[in-house]
Amino acid sequence: LAERHATLIAEQRLTAAQIEQLKAAAIIAPEVADSMIENQIGQFPLPLGLSFNFLIDETSYVVPMVTEEPSVIAASSNAAKIVQANGGFTTTIQERAMIGQLIFTDVSDYEAAILLVQEKEAALIEIANAAQPSLVKRGGGLRRIETRIITDDDHQPAYFTVHLVVDVQEAMGANMMNTILEATATPLKEWLDSAVLMQILSNFADTSLVTATCRIEPHTLTTTRFEGEWLAKRIAEATRYAHLDPYRAATHNKGIMNGVDAVVLASGNDTRAIEAGAHAFAVRDGRYRGLSDWKVAENGDLVGQLTLPLPVGSVGGAISVLPLAQLTQQILGISTANKLARVIVSVGLAQNLAALKALVSEGIQKGHMSLQVKSLALSAGATESELPLVVAALLENKQLNLENAHTIIAQLRQ
Ligand code: NDP
């Protein structure tokens, strides 16, 4: 690390003072950080905040979120408060398992290959479980085997793929799964008399689906300017639109992931895995759609639902290494992967409700920019003592842009 810092100074990429700044930002022990990633030169702190009012399956949660975006936490707290007043979120988990793919080429008889895998199922389960004995001791292990014939663009069989569905217990399970896949690939290749293209887990984790639902009486949506029943209908219509237009669906889903990623990151889990799974799930029927669903029920209530693949862990990966991940787990007050997934999907639904409610009424800019204004003042160079004055002046003259922030700061300093 010292050598890397010296090189950065020698190559005039950073000054000695900036290196000190980097060092001061570090809270993970340097040797731990160095073992986590390659070419590590420092650490990159992001704000950690708390979202309130989450009543999920009759339990209240304070939710730690890591995000750089203003308004995300305020929005989720706000929407969670509305849901709380209506009885909170209800969640369900159908299954929690990880899928691993063994992809074979040069298979001459696909039907015979399917029969062979069925025949060898018990042997494969034995090999898989012997590769991860500690997982089996904890009650996990290979649960079932599925076969797929993957066709090409002309609908001709092109690959033979075997899915191993593994109960990974409290871990996210990527590394565990890859160990199991490597152990099973060789015997299976020999039995099939084919070649292995690769073996790797799938991030399209549709064996780890988690659903949150909520039911909202429309009058609880009413604001000083907008009537609840009108808002409920427009929220349902906005959802319908997001199911039809991928340009809108991408933004609709980004809003959901604002909350989801922030909790996933705070918990020390892998945000890329969750993002990849969510977007694959959004396009599962061939058309990229909004992930949530809001409908007005017969009695006029607004009913919301969100299902996401959430293969998160409570142990393993970076979770057990990052000191703050233990701390956020403590704030959240949960230690199981299932409960974490239930909280994450509820936050996603709350985030979506907040965004849709704003979008179909006063627009996103009003609330968003009033919270972004602090960041704007800071990026224009406002000092701590100047900050409240610059924020007030920006809000007063309503031109929330960097140029205006610079002008205000210059005037203050005259
Ligand atoms: P680990 O490799 O850390 O394995 C889980 C660890 O948790 C094991 O050491 C296991 O112990 C331990 N453990 C303790 N208690 C339990 C319990 N109750 N249930 C299960 N395990 C327990 O992590 P994962 O296999 O979860 O892999 C996650 C990591 O893999 C993430 O960092 C992710 O970024 C990365 N990754 C992701 C990929 C992807 O998404 N495509 C690809 C490759 C890696 P023991 O050893 O005794 O079993």
Give the pLDDT confidence of 9-50 residue by residue, as tens digits. 999 999 999 999 999 999 999 889 999 999 999 999 999 999
Distance 319 CA to ligand 1 centre (A): 9
Distance 49 CA to ligand 1 centre (A): 26
**Using CA positions, which residue lies closest to atom 46 of ligand 1?**
134
| Predicted local confidence at residue 372, as pLDDT | 78
Tokens 């039809």 belong to 244
**Using CA positions, which residue lies closest to atom 14 of ligand 1?**
315
In tens, the pLDDT along 224-235 reads 889 999 999 999
What ipTM score was computed for the predicted complex, to two decimals? 0.96
**Using CA positions, which residue lies closest to atom 24 of ligand 1?**
173
Query: Which residues, 6+ apart, have CB-to-CB distance to 50 below 8 Å?
Result: 62, 63, 64, 65, 73, 331
Residue 366, pLDDT > 90, answer: no
pTM of this structure: 0.91
The pLDDT mean for the chain works out to: 95
Start-end of H helices in 267-362:
271-282, 323-332, 337-359
| pLDDT confidence bin for 365, thresholds 50/70/90 | low
| Predicted local confidence at residue 374, as pLDDT | 84
| Predicted local confidence at residue 367, as pLDDT | 66
Residue 130, pLDDT > 90, answer: yes
Distance 266 CA to ligand 1 centre (A): 17
| Predicted local confidence at residue 358, as pLDDT | 95
In tens, the pLDDT along 197-225 reads 999 999 999 999 999 999 999 999 999 88
Q: How many of the other CB atoms lie within 10 Å of CB of 363? A: 10
Give the binding-site residues of ligand 1, using a 6 Å CB cut-off: 134-135, 138, 169-176, 201, 203, 270, 273, 313, 315-318
- What sign does the dihedral 335-338-344-349 (CA atoms) show? negative
Distance 85 CA to ligand 1 centre (A): 38
Q: Which residue has the higher pLDDT, 209 or 377?
A: 209
In tens, the pLDDT along 313-332 reads 999 999 989 989 999 999 99
